[in-house]
Amino acid sequence: MDSLSAPSLAPAWRSAIPDARIVLGMPHLSGTGLSEPWLLKECGHRHWQMLAAAAGRAVPDFRAPDGTPIYAAFTGITVAADGFAACGEHEVLTVRSRLSRISRGRVFGEHVLTVDGRAVGRVGMTSAFVRRTRPGVNASVVRAEVPGLPPPGPDAAAEAHAAAIAALAPPTADGEGGPVVELAPCPSLDFNGAGFLYFVSYVAFADRAEWALAAAAARRPLLHRTVRFLGNVDVGEHVVVRHRAGNGGAARLDLSAASDGRPLAMLHVLRGASAAS
């Protein structure tokens, strides 16, 4: 899907917040252009703010009847990054965001990115509400419901996003080969304030593995990324990343828990033909 040019049809309802206008500097840029980790954090925060607005709340403080905190866990993201490499210092990035409820338990957020008027990318994010059934144990999360949200409605961009996520199927028994890297998540860097392994860290782990196992390919500019999230870990658990190179600049990466092999995420990455300078 050409995520930069594909139009979004108006959903049955939408929740939006004011556009963000950011003068790009060192926090927002990397050695390859616009920083994907920073961008995902920003879009994730805006997604959370829009959820609060959709539920008629000033802040996103959602709780179960027993007082247990409820969080929005991302189940899938798509990143169209065609223009990231061309972003530079002092340019003005505009992020235009909207949110729509696409099913009883899922919400879709879309963030359209322009720099000084030119399209540079698009981020799609699907989330579901979750809560822990055992305090501090991330493996104990279950789905939760939040009252006050408008009813679901059709959304063409969300449907295309969901199709891309669904296309990331679990590896078959004969497709589990490929080199691996084992990483130890750091509590102060890789976990969020709620104690979960932050969704941005999955992407960071995949990039670190790609750099370690396929450095020549990793130097190429990112064009598109799809991530399907499957699980989480607790502090102290290690993560294994398996890398399999594809054709035409594509790669498949699978993240799993080192302790028991349970799947954590599946990623598809597409990179350009020329190395990033």
Hey, is 25 helix, strand or coil? coil
Instruction: Find out whether 221 and 32 touch, Cβ atoms under 8 Å.
Output: yes
What are the residues whose beta carbons fall under 8 Å from the beta carbon of 49, sequence distance 6 or more? 17, 60
Instruction: Find out whether 13 and 100 touch, Cβ atoms under 8 Å.
Output: yes
Instruction: Find out whether 210 and 36 touch, Cβ atoms under 8 Å.
Output: no
Q: How far apart are CA 69 and CA 189, in angstroms?
A: 22
Structural domains for the chain: 1-156 (3.10.129.10), 168-277 (3.10.129.10)
Instruction: Find out whether 37 and 204 touch, Cβ atoms under 8 Å.
Output: yes
Instruction: Find out whether 108 and 149 touch, Cβ atoms under 8 Å.
Output: no
Q: How far apart are CA 40 and CA 32, in angstroms?
A: 15
Q: What is the pLDDT along the chain (277 residues), one digit of tens a residue?
A: 344 444 444 444 566 789 999 999 999 999 999 999 999 999 999 999 999 999 999 999 999 999 999 999 999 999 999 999 999 999 999 999 999 999 988 999 999 999 999 999 999 999 999 999 999 999 999 999 998 888 888 899 999 999 999 999 887 655 567 899 999 999 999 999 999 999 999 999 999 999 999 999 999 999 999 999 999 999 999 999 999 998 889 999 999 999 999 999 999 999 998 765 4
Q: How far apart are CA 166 and CA 170, in angstroms?
A: 10
